[in-house]
Amino acid sequence: MRPSDELKSDRLLGISNIRVISRLGALADELAAIVNGLHSNVLTDVVNTLALFGVAHFIPRNDFPTTEYLLGYGTADWSRYFQKEKQKEEQTEQEQRESDWDKLIAGYGYGETSPLDKEVYSGITSGFFRDKVVRGLSEELAQRIEGGARKEAFNDATHRFWWGVGDSKVALEELVEKTKAALNLMNASELHGVYEVLLDLKQQDAATELLNQFIAANQDRRGALARSDHFGEKYDATFKAVLEAEAARVEEPMDLAKTLDAIDFNRGWDPDDITTIAAAKFDEIVPLLTGAKEERLFARRLATLLKIGERKDATEEGKKLRENTIEWLRTFAATNPISALRVRRFLPADPPVESAPVA
């Protein structure tokens, strides 16, 4: 059955407007051509999106979510979660309406509005789809779907190995096979469980090969190479040493500019970033000030450097950073009166000079 035929069956739309059904049916066939060859669930996903946004756009009504509501669906709006806990009689008319909308949306298997969903909606409003954009986003979705299936197969194989009573040799072969298929989706802790199984069965070469394949598969997922000792996991010594060596090899040099810019005392910050900046050599900090191309960036970085040493919990390194920053400013100010005027607002006021006692 073509996507357009499925839409016309009213299963998705639940409407009888022939003109709208035909319009959306034609768009569904266009989407089918764009995502051809990808996982079948991709087509199901985009057709569901087309149906939801299509009805909301062409036939707005109170018992159906608005396009504005759909575009923001799944965002972290805690008020919506709290309102769901209310008794129906306590809800406002709008809250009751949105509660009904949520039930309808759930019927489409819809979780949250993604960039692909928004691109489909854009095609509805404009009358045509940007093929390359839709295809690219659809390929990403297909990869996530296929990855999820591989990870689920690994979990199932792990469960069957430890809790099943079938052919043990087959169970081990399946565990290793499904592990290899999901190497780029798991973390070090999950791999270690299989690695230990192979070691216990005196299959050292197979264990080493599996670890090497895990490292090769995760060159673009460097976080996967990190161990989780802080959660209490105990690793085999060789496994631990190999991972540590690889993590050190691929570790990117610290980007001090990104680290400094990530500190925002008005919104939030990572204490590790403050520690990193405070511990850096001041010779490495100066280029972040002199190299700031925008005045606002210079002022924000300068204010952050000073604030790090002013806070109540400032470390000695943080205080030293502030002192070095002030000294750098004073050196700049001493070059000429104009420079002094420009940075005067950043410098602490000089203590008042005590007048000599009157004789």
Q: What is the pLDDT of residue 213?
A: 94
In a domain, 78, yes or no: yes
* pLDDT tens string 207-223: 999 999 999 988 877 77
- CB atoms < 10 A from the CB of 43, how many? 20
322 pLDDT above the threshold of 60 = yes
Is 213 in the same domain as 268?
no
Is 123 in the same domain as 190?
no
- Average per-residue pLDDT for the chain: 82
Q: What is the pLDDT of residue 114?
A: 84
What six digits make up the tokens of 285?
Answer: 């900090």
Q: How far lies 94's CA from each of 46, 52, 69, 75, 168, in Å? A: 28, 19, 12, 18, 58
348 pLDDT above the threshold of 70 = yes
Is 113 in the same domain as 43?
yes
Q: pLDDT-derived band of residue 232, with 50, 70 and 90 as boundaries?
A: low
How far, in Å, CA of 212 to CA of 227, rounded? 15
Is 118 in the same domain as 150?
no
Q: What is the pLDDT of residue 81?
A: 45
57, 121 Cβ separation under 8 angstroms: yes
356 pLDDT above the threshold of 60 = no
Least-confidence region, from 19-23, 169-173, 225-229, 245-249: 225-229
Q: pLDDT-derived band of residue 192, with 50, 70 and 90 as boundaries?
A: very high
Rg (CA), the chain: 30
Is 124 in the same domain as 10?
yes
Helices 168-181, 204-217: axis angle to 10 degrees equals 20
In a domain, 353, yes or no: no
* pLDDT tens string 19-65: 888 888 889 999 999 999 888 888 988 988 888 888 888 888 877 88
Is 19 in the same domain as 123?
yes
> DSSP state, 344?
G
Q: Choose one of 129, 153, 171: the last residue of a domain.
A: 129
Residue range of the domain that includes 175 = 144-250
Q: What is the pLDDT of residue 353?
A: 45
Q: Choose one of 250, 269, 288: the last residue of a domain.
A: 250
What six digits make up the tokens of 208?
Answer: 């080493």
DSSP helix, strand, coil percent of the chain (3-state; round to 5): 70, 0, 30
What six digits make up the tokens of 169?
Answer: 């040799």
Is 30 in the same domain as 11?
yes
Is 72 in the same domain as 158?
no
What six digits make up the tokens of 330?
Answer: 């004073």
DSSP secondary structure letters along 28-97: HHHHHHHTTTS-HHHHHHHHHHHHHHHHHHHS--TTS--HHHHHTTTS--HHHHHHHTS-GGGS-HHHHH
Cβ neighbours of residue 250 closer than 8 Å, sequence gap 6 or more: 219, 222, 225
How far, in Å, CA of 215 to CA of 241, rounded? 13
Of 48, 64, 45, which is closest to residue 12 (Cα–Cα)? Answer: 48
Highest mean pLDDT among 66-75, 85-94, 138-147, 313-322: 313-322
